[in-house]
Structure 1
């Protein structure tokens, strides 16, 4: 059996009297989508921020390709192969679609804003950025200002930016948020195809998308994982039904 690409080992985080995460150990295997679900306040976003380096855990480790990255800042984890999309879009709205994708390339090259002019002229970076845009279906929008994109297209662009990093794993925080039915279907199809390039750790409230995509599902409640299994396992779990207090699972 292949080793996990990404894993957490007993991650815990306390904010005063609030336990945000408690001994959370999950993993992400090659070629899979592992979804994390749970009610609001379950600790999902705190977990994602610990994995990506925005919050340091009180205890536990984050492993990427069996390497302990727990002490590394977010940009270094990104260069190590952790591709991130956000619950709220984190794009440069005044820049074009292509310029946003090139910014992602700058991260993997370890360059800074001082080299932005040179980066725009770099054939290598443009080629990588254009390839990512083509992969998500935005090639024809390369010269469009980001602010002119639909909400769904901005989600696609976020995925393209992550793709420019040649990620070993994707971490996606509610990518379906704010999308209508058609947008959710389109993004679901896109993510389904991405798993062959890099596995996806997916935090999502859209249960139709979760059950359509996830190979495994972990359920968090009060900062702890109470169940992990297939979609059928989670649907049939009495513990999950009780934790959701009647919510549809």
Structure 2
């Protein structure tokens, strides 16, 4: 399809006798937030790993902006515009907020990591980092140690690091995890604006956020997509209600 920025087609992945991904197909369109939901153990993390390059699928393909990236490593996909935030923080806790953002910009530049020691003095990298921090509201925390940030602000920083890539697509793995109601509300508002710059594939358990943000939802159960549709279609789907949503619909 020419109007997709990310397409997963017939992805399969097994770990011994366990089939974690069973012929999964889905796509992401410009300006869209496409949410992936499902119970624990459904295969969401395995799917994200295959999309982002940390896992190699046994079969199927991943296409980014019309280019087959199935066999490219993670960094190569990132340089082509695939940004990612993680379920478990990957930040350098002893570094400052600005240092984390600069390191993100360094990774996006494709320059070798031995350049790290002088990265903070590089004007272009600092400007990229500072712009990303401003966008997520962390400009006043730039010199703080990351370990001193609240959980919610660390989530904001993870988004800022992803933004230093100037991504064309964002894959977000449970960005609302651990946030309170106010933090979730703020991040939801930011992602709603961000979708027009970089469409978002969103893995999330916070159903209030999913129902508020998603243009489409795919439901993953036992490694299979059992339904894809709008919020109203997914809420009304009896198979989805039985398998996952229950009273949350």
Change (3 A) 1:99 1:140: same
Contact 2:56 2:70 in 1 (8 A): yes
Q: Give the equivalent residue in structure 1 for 2:8.
A: 8
Calculate the TM-score normalised by the size of structure 1: 0.97
Written as runs of structure 1 = structure 2, the 5 A alignment for 1:171-186 is 171-186=171-186
Say whether 1:169 aligns with 2:169. Answer: yes
Q: Give the equivalent residue in structure 2 for 1:45.
A: 45
Contact 2:136 2:156 in 1 (8 A): yes
Q: Give the equivalent residue in structure 1 for 2:134.
A: 134
Helix, strand or coil at the partner of 2:153: helix
In structure 1, distance between residues paired with 2:75 and 2:178? 27
In structure 2, distance between residues paired with 1:229 and 1:30? 16
In structure 1, distance between residues paired with 2:19 and 2:125? 43
Q: Give the equivalent residue in structure 2 for 1:147.
A: 147
Q: Give the equivalent residue in structure 1 for 2:33.
A: 33
Q: Give the equivalent residue in structure 1 for 2:101.
A: 101
Write the deviation string for residues 60-113 of structure 1: whole angstroms up to 9, x where unpaired: 001001101011111111111110000011100011111100111111111222
Contact 1:2 1:29 in 2 (8 A): no
Shift of 1:17: 1.4
5+ residue gaps, structure 2: none
In structure 1, distance between residues paired with 2:81 and 2:235? 33
In structure 1, distance between residues paired with 2:71 and 2:235? 37
Calculate the TM-score normalised by the size of structure 2: 0.97
Which structure 1 residue ranges, 4+ long, deviate > 3 Å from structure 2?
Answer: none
Change (3 A) 1:120 1:23: same
Shift of 1:243: 1.6
Helix, strand or coil at the partner of 2:92: coil
Contact 1:61 1:68 in 2 (8 A): yes
Write the deviation string for residues 153-211 of structure 1: whole angstroms up to 9, x where unpaired: 00000000000001010000001111111111111111111101100000000000000
In structure 2, distance between residues paired with 1:154 and 1:57? 31
Shift of 1:14: 0.8
In structure 2, distance between residues paired with 1:52 and 1:116? 24
In structure 2, distance between residues paired with 1:141 and 1:246? 41
Contact 1:2 1:30 in 2 (8 A): no
In structure 2, distance between residues paired with 1:62 and 1:134? 32
Say whether 1:86 aligns with 2:86. Answer: yes
In structure 2, distance between residues paired with 1:245 and 1:152? 26
CA RMSD of aligned residues (A): 1.2
In structure 2, distance between residues paired with 1:246 and 1:4? 31
In structure 2, distance between residues paired with 1:112 and 1:101? 16
